[in-house]
Amino acid sequence: MRTRRDPALLVLEDGFVLRGEAYGQLGRTVGEIVFSTGMTGYQETLTDPSYHRQIVVMTAPHIGNTGVNDEDPESSRIWVAGFVVRDAARRASSWRSERELEDELRDQGVVGICSVDTRALTRHLRERGVMRGGIFSGTALPAGAAEGNAAAREVLGDLVRQAPAMTGADLAGQVTTPHAYVVEPAGEPVATVVAVDLGIKSRTPAQLAARGVRVHVVPQSITLPEILALAPDGVFFSNGPGDPGAATHEVELLRGVLDAKVPFFGICFGNQLLGRALGYGTYKLEYGHRGVNQPVLDRATGRVEITAHNHGFAVDAPTDAPSVAPFDGGRYGRVEVSHLGLNDDVVEGLRALDIPAFSVQYHPEAAAGPHDAEHLFDRFIALMTQRRASATREDA
């Protein structure tokens, strides 16, 4: 027999309202509302720190059927501000499940809503762009709001519009590790990498460690002398939440890494920060790229890779030919856009031609897949190996 649920409302800042049923914790939550097109991997999505302060709409209709476990999380907690699904599974049926998804949401205080038309909601966001939204249930739902009372719903709309916007938000410091830690390599170490945690996912250092890299995961607040004291063969900047235009400390730190000629690799937020460090601009996408089925062209090979994305900002760089990086009169030399998103021609990768640095906007480490781009970790190792060999020849 179906469990009776409390009513819940989803309210967007432009006045769009959907009635549904409470899912997870009862209460109120506000944030930027975005949609993810992944057909699987909801546990990885929920625990991705890049979703900090965002309400996530799952476009796949049936969510919760595989439950949750202790092997798949990308971090130690759920980060989404809220969760929106169409059909909540009545029970988990996977042999790997250890707990029910709704119990996990409730235990971690995540307010959600189910039994809503996520297709209509996604179409609305695609037409109007992502915006602030809120989920209200239990005592946070004013009398009459669920029944359509205009005044009550206007109160909720005002609460949503008072929420901070994502543009201008500096959030990496809120999700970074408080203390540095080391992920040891499998077998003999082939390189040492300092990974700056801007919202890093657990699978990223695991990918490097599996290839023989010792990874020092360090807080966002680290300084350049502290990085160099670890004698890294390479530096990595992770994914993370917020507006790259507000990440002043991180951009200055990255310029120090580039000046030191330490090989650099960045993913997602790290790609945007490389763009800014090189002097290019960044801008907010209308509704972003989020999901596990995004086609990207690798311009060097001509191959199309199916990739996982989670970004609402992008780099503004010339795509027709290599350009001189604008910062400081071309201090970092020439740069090419190495990857393009085939849905909308968004910059999906950068490669510096005169210094050892490259980045991609998408997620080659994606735990739920696809795995087409995992070779980028090998490229990073090759870059570090070449740089080390070159330094040895210069010393000789």
357 located within any domain: yes
Distance from C-alpha of 218 to C-alpha of 213, rounded to nearest angstrom: 15
The CATH number assigned to the domain holding 115 equals 3.50.30.20
Band (pLDDT 50/70/90 cuts) for residue 209 is very high
Element holding 156 (H helix, E strand): helix 150-161
Both 351 and 306 in a single domain?
A: yes
pLDDT of residue 395: 66
Q: Give tens-digit pLDDT for 313-330.
A: 999 999 999 999 999 999
Both 209 and 153 in a single domain?
A: no
Residue 1: pLDDT over 50: no
Both 179 and 222 in a single domain?
A: yes
Q: Give tens-digit pLDDT for 23-71.
A: 999 999 999 999 999 888 899 999 999 999 999 999 999 999 999 999 9
pLDDT of residue 371: 80
The answer to whether 327 is a known ligand-binding residue is no
Both 36 and 185 in a single domain?
A: no
Domain extent for 57? 7-161
pLDDT (average), residues 2-18: 92
The answer to whether 329 is a known ligand-binding residue is no
pLDDT (average), residues 383-395: 83
Instruction: Give percent helix, percent strand, percent coil of the chain, each to the nearest 5.
Output: 25, 30, 40
The answer to whether 313 is a known ligand-binding residue is yes
The answer to whether 349 is a known ligand-binding residue is no
User: Could you give the number of structural domains in the chain?
Assistant: 2
Both 126 and 182 in a single domain?
A: no
Residue pointed to by tokens 């970790």: 377
Distance from C-alpha of 24 to C-alpha of 171, rounded to nearest angstrom: 25
166 located within any domain: no
2 located within any domain: no
Distance from C-alpha of 111 to C-alpha of 15, rounded to nearest angstrom: 20
* Domain C-terminal end among 132, 161, 190: 161
Both 295 and 215 in a single domain?
A: yes
Q: What is the DSSP letter of 287?
A: E
The answer to whether 312 is a known ligand-binding residue is yes
Tokens standing for residue 166: 């994502």
179 labelled catalytic: no
Both 189 and 336 in a single domain?
A: yes
Distance from C-alpha of 377 to C-alpha of 190, rounded to nearest angstrom: 13
Q: Give tens-digit pLDDT for 147-173.
A: 999 999 999 999 999 999 999 999 999
Chain mean pLDDT for the chain: 95
365 labelled catalytic: yes
114 labelled catalytic: no
Both 53 and 138 in a single domain?
A: yes
Q: Give tens-digit pLDDT for 345-387.
A: 999 999 999 999 999 999 998 777 778 889 999 999 999 999 9
Distance from C-alpha of 129 to C-alpha of 228, rounded to nearest angstrom: 42
Both 251 and 378 in a single domain?
A: yes
Whole-model pTM above 0.85?
Answer: yes
320 located within any domain: yes
- In this structure, what are the phi and psi dihedrals at residue 329, rounded to the nearest 5 degrees? 65, 30
Q: Which of 32, 52, 104, 268 is catalytic?
A: 268
